[in-house]
Amino acid sequence: MYYKNRRAYTLRTSVVLFYLLVIFWTKQSVAQTMTVGGTNWTVPISPITEAGANYSGSYQSAANQILVSATLPALLSGARVSVQYQADPTWHPSLSIAARRTGTGQTLCLLCSVTGGTTYLPVTTVATELFRIQTVLTLTTFNNIPVQLRLSGVSVTIPAASYRARAVFTISGL
């Protein structure tokens, strides 16, 4: 009897240790990854040639100016993709940038989704959620989620200079 109980105890201990290792390993591998591609967007602003004229004020990039790809871990996981800008090196406070998602990209997961961010959202120096990604059962990759930018506030009252900003995307769990 003692031998059987000891054997059952050893088996239970082994099973518990196995589950703890699986949980630890799973927690270690629950990281989202993201890559951001695309090209630099240079806004073509024509010079004012007539007195009293002004710029159109708003300019849009191509609908797929930025392509975001993300990989999420398994089992009912979700992530938020946020965006912010960094002045590079200077930025005029009257200029504003906005971003929106113009598509869902490609994925092999039928029940997975990309939601939010289909209307322009202001991009500031603080990370702002642009859209969310949800996966269902397994490790899921979303490829080439297109993002469009809009520059507004362009006016003759802004000093003529070269203004640059860098869009910074981050991904975090829900």
Domain spans in the chain, listed from the N-terminal domain onward: 1-30, 31-173
- Burial class of residue 41, CB neighbours in 10 A (0-12, 13-18, 19+): middle
Hey, which bits of the chain come out as E strands? Answer: 33-38, 58-60, 66-72, 78-87, 96-101, 113-115, 121-123, 128-134, 140-152, 165-173
Residue 18 has pLDDT above 90, yes or no: no
Scan for tokens 């900003």, then name that residue: 165
Query: What percent of the chain clears pLDDT 70, i.e. is strictly above it?
Result: 78
As a residue count, the chain comes to 174
User: Prior bond to 89 cis, omega within 30?
Assistant: yes
Q: How many CB atoms lie within 10 A of CB 117?
A: 21
Q: What is the average pLDDT across 33-49? A: 86
pLDDT: is 132 or 19 the higher one?
A: 132
Exposure b/e, 119-154, CB count within 10 A at least 16 = b: ebbebeeebeebbebbbeeeebbbebbbbbbbbbeb
Query: What percent of the chain clears pLDDT 90, i.e. is strictly above it?
Result: 48
What pLDDT score does 52 carry?
Answer: 64
pLDDT digits (tens, 9 = 90+) for 79-108: 999 999 998 888 899 999 999 999 999 999
CA gap 98, 117 in Å, rounded: 11
Residue 9 has pLDDT above 70, yes or no: no
Q: What is the average pLDDT across 22-47? A: 72
Residue 25 has pLDDT above 60, yes or no: no
Distances (CA, A) of 131 to 100, 116, 141, 156, 163: 9, 5, 15, 34, 27
**Which residue blocks in 60-172 are alpha helix, DSSP H?**
none
Q: What is the average pLDDT across 108-135? A: 94
Residue 22 has pLDDT above 90, yes or no: no
What pLDDT score does 145 carry?
Answer: 97
What pLDDT score does 51 carry?
Answer: 65
pLDDT digits (tens, 9 = 90+) for 135-167: 887 788 999 999 999 999 888 888 888 889 999
CA atoms within 13 A on the CB side of 92: 15
